[in-house]
Structure 1
Amino acid sequence: MTKLFPTSTAGSLPKPSWIATPEVLWSPWKLEGEDLVAGKQDALRLAVDDQQKAGIDIVGDGEQTRQHFVTTFIEHLDGVDFEKRETVRIRNRYDASVPTVVGAVSRSKPVFVEDARFLRAQTDQPIKWTLPGPMTMIDTLYDAHYQSREKLAWEFARILNEEARELEAAGVDIVQFDEPAFNVFFEEANDWGIAALERAAEGLKCETAVHICYGYGIKANTDWKKTLGSEWRQYEETFPNLQKSSIDIVSLECHHSNVPMDLIELIRGKKVMVGAIDVASDIVETPEEVADTLRKALQFVDADKLYPSTNCGMTPLSRRVANGKLKALGAGAEILRKEQAA
């Protein structure tokens, strides 16, 4: 990546109304069979076009081909029964009905590789693909087989590594693992979670990223944030070990959060995707607001390692708001490039 301050999204973008209900997180598909396949590809093409017009440098698929950032991957694995459901507490925040691990988990075929090839064919720009991280995967299931969060995480790490290697072969430049669970289960993250993440990224020659945020702008998350006080110091718990890890890029939430900016110093040396767009608000940032967040981050991350991004995914937002935010991100990064060149 030669361009200074290359922009990207954390992952998801709103889905067009023909494929899913707008502004609804994890909305069911409106199409079936071949129509759904074509609809997903149309949505992916549109997401690429929206990003390119907004000045986004590292292009993603907007997660247009998946309903849920974790379970859509798990649906394609063996050993998990989606009919047998249990209620579990997700990231100590809200209850959800989840599928059950009933046997050894395995991946009999690629999950997102064809979609990634399709994305690769749409653009000459660098592309990024998101996968759920091992710890966040185990937090979204009921385990009736391994009876050990750690054992299951290592199995998922092995499976994720198989998928990631094929994504790399399909032309993906950055494989990102989403680990919001790192902001909740600090002890496990440090004991084995970061090691499991490294196993998922093992042997990859493309760049690897870990995205750790405070969640989508949904009520369960915004209510939780209200309990965190005036300073959110969760990153302080895992950043020292992430700094020592083999992961290339760390993606974090900054804009309109109570994360002390100086925590970024703990991952000095890593590339940092700085969340400069608030996904929990319909108010579209100005380019100057974005630039201001990035300037503050520049005190703690070298200019050639700062990647402007969004705080989290934008699925629950309207397409109009999300596009406005994408344009603000692109324009805010451009302000900073001009300042650096001056």
Structure 2
Amino acid sequence: MQPNPIRTTVIGSYPFPGWLEFASQNLDQFGQADIEEMIEDAVVAAVHDQTTAGLDVITDGEQTRLDFNLSFYGYIKGLQPNHSETRKFGPPAHDQRGKHSIVEELTAPQGLGAVKEFERLKRLAPAGPTLKASIPGPYTLSGRMLPNERYKDRYDITEALLPFVRQELEDLVAAGCTEITVDEPSMSCYAYKEDTKRFVDIFNRTVAPVVGKCRLSTHLCFGNFKGRPVGYRKIHPMLPDFLDLAVDEVHVEMANREFDEIELIAEFAQKMDVAVGIIDVKNYYIETVKDVIKRIEKCLKYIPAEKLAVAPDCGLSQTARWAARQKLINMVAGARQVR
């Protein structure tokens, strides 16, 4: 059970400062020392916004990750960008995200980079908030890799990636990380048509070495690339099998779906804590404190306060920083009033 009732948390990502986005498109003008300085400054800014809002749990804002999956691909050997597989023009959407061909055996000799991110966060964050690391699970991580003769389908690729993620989780715990989110939005997006028992087996084998050694959660959403969903946005296909996920907390997207299926959090609450997305990261309507209070009260009809956390629906990286900041401030203020 979580340490505090109605805990306030975030998923992982936070908007880049405008200058970092500009710099990331002009890296050839900067030296390595300049780049490291920019990263630290960006993490300081993300931490400042989160701690000023008063969150119980903060992250580094994933300021080193230019893309949710593809940033990790830089650590995996055996991949080659395949730009011909993506749509180039028209409305921005998930089918424009980069894909990669597998050209040799997949390996990750230097890990996936999450430990370095966490070590930086520990050094830069103030005492008080819980520090959380996040990493994509192997099924989600496989999503932009193209099968070949060696890896016949997405599940073969997933099995090849599973040991990399598992090792990264073990290394995070060894580095002192007490809270980790394993992001598996692909599982929630495809639960309506794939074998959910197989999903649970993949997930539980991935996290097995760290179960009981940290507070472990998973994030189940329906996509947020360029502020757009991608999956079938229903929770009921995940049940009852996802109740067997080996986690302390599950995060579910609610605000953008107008709290459709909110009653189903009661089923999750029988087995685990639930972080409910009560802030819509796709909408530029800024939820007021009164909105937050009403939404939390709606959740409390189905789950006790000591098992409820509140959060944005997804990471905030696709939301402008001014909006993200105010949304978090109001979310925390509302949660405190309900407490």
Aligned to 1:87: 85
Structure 1 contact 88–95 (Cα < 8 Å) conserved: yes
% same residue: 25
**Aligned mate of 1:201, from 192, 201, 207:** 207
1:261 and 1:127 map into 2 onto residues whose CA distance is 28
2:167 and 2:84 map into 1 onto residues whose CA distance is 28
Does 2:162 match 1:157? yes
Aligned to 1:14: 15
Q: How many pairs align? A: 322
- 1:147 alignment partner, SS class: coil
1:332 and 1:290 map into 2 onto residues whose CA distance is 5
Aligned to 2:250: 250
| Structure 1 range deviating more: 274-283 or 288-297 | 288-297
**Aligned mate of 2:144, from 133, 140, 151:** 140
Residue 301 of structure 1: CA displacement? Answer: 2.0
- 1:208 alignment partner, SS class: strand
Residue 86 of structure 1: CA displacement? Answer: 4.8
Aligned pairs for 1:1-342 (under 5 A) are 1-21=2-22, 28=25, 30=27, 31=30, 33-82=32-81, 84-87=82-85, 94-110=95-111, 111-121=113-123, 122-124=125-127, 125-144=129-148, 145-186=150-191, 187-204=193-210, 205-216=213-224, 218=226, 220-221=228-229, 232=233, 234-258=234-258, 259-268=260-269, 269-337=271-339
1:219 and 1:12 map into 2 onto residues whose CA distance is 13
| Structure 1 range deviating more: 52-61 or 27-36 | 27-36
Going from structure 1 to structure 2, the CA distance change for 1:190 and 1:88 (only over 3 Å counts) comes to: farther
What is the identity, as a one-letter code, of the residue corresponding to 1:194? V
2:285 and 2:264 map into 1 onto residues whose CA distance is 26
2:26 and 2:239 map into 1 onto residues whose CA distance is 37
1:181 and 1:271 map into 2 onto residues whose CA distance is 21
TM-score, normalisation: structure 1: 0.87
Structure 2 contact 227–318 (Cα < 8 Å) conserved: no
Going from structure 1 to structure 2, the CA distance change for 1:254 and 1:114 (only over 3 Å counts) comes to: same
Going from structure 1 to structure 2, the CA distance change for 1:58 and 1:201 (only over 3 Å counts) comes to: same
Structure 2 contact 248–273 (Cα < 8 Å) conserved: yes
Residue 93 of structure 1: CA displacement? Answer: 5.9
Going from structure 1 to structure 2, the CA distance change for 1:85 and 1:283 (only over 3 Å counts) comes to: same
Structure 1 contact 314–322 (Cα < 8 Å) conserved: yes
Structure 2 contact 163–206 (Cα < 8 Å) conserved: yes
What is the identity, as a one-letter code, of the residue corresponding to 1:272? V
Cα-to-partner distance string for 1:55-84 (whole Å, 9 max, x where unaligned): 1111111111111111111210122223x4
| Structure 1 range deviating more: 40-49 or 135-144 | 135-144
Going from structure 1 to structure 2, the CA distance change for 1:298 and 1:189 (only over 3 Å counts) comes to: farther
TM-score, normalisation: structure 2: 0.88
- Aligned CA RMSD, in angstroms, stands at 2.3
Residue 194 of structure 1: CA displacement? Answer: 2.0
- 1:243 alignment partner, SS class: helix
Residue 219 of structure 1: CA displacement? Answer: 6.0
Aligned to 1:340: none
1:18 and 1:301 map into 2 onto residues whose CA distance is 42
1:312 and 1:21 map into 2 onto residues whose CA distance is 24
Unaligned runs of 5+ in 1: 338-342
1:199 and 1:20 map into 2 onto residues whose CA distance is 36
2:26 and 2:216 map into 1 onto residues whose CA distance is 30
Unaligned runs of 5+ in 2: 88-92
- 1:109 alignment partner, SS class: coil
Structure 1 contact 44–61 (Cα < 8 Å) conserved: yes
Residue 106 of structure 1: CA displacement? Answer: 1.8
What is the identity, as a one-letter code, of the residue corresponding to 1:287? V
1:251 and 1:244 map into 2 onto residues whose CA distance is 14
Residue 220 of structure 1: CA displacement? Answer: 4.5
1:56 and 1:240 map into 2 onto residues whose CA distance is 31
Residue 167 of structure 1: CA displacement? Answer: 1.2
Structure 1 contact 87–96 (Cα < 8 Å) conserved: no
- 1:50 alignment partner, SS class: helix
What is the identity, as a one-letter code, of the residue corresponding to 2:79? V
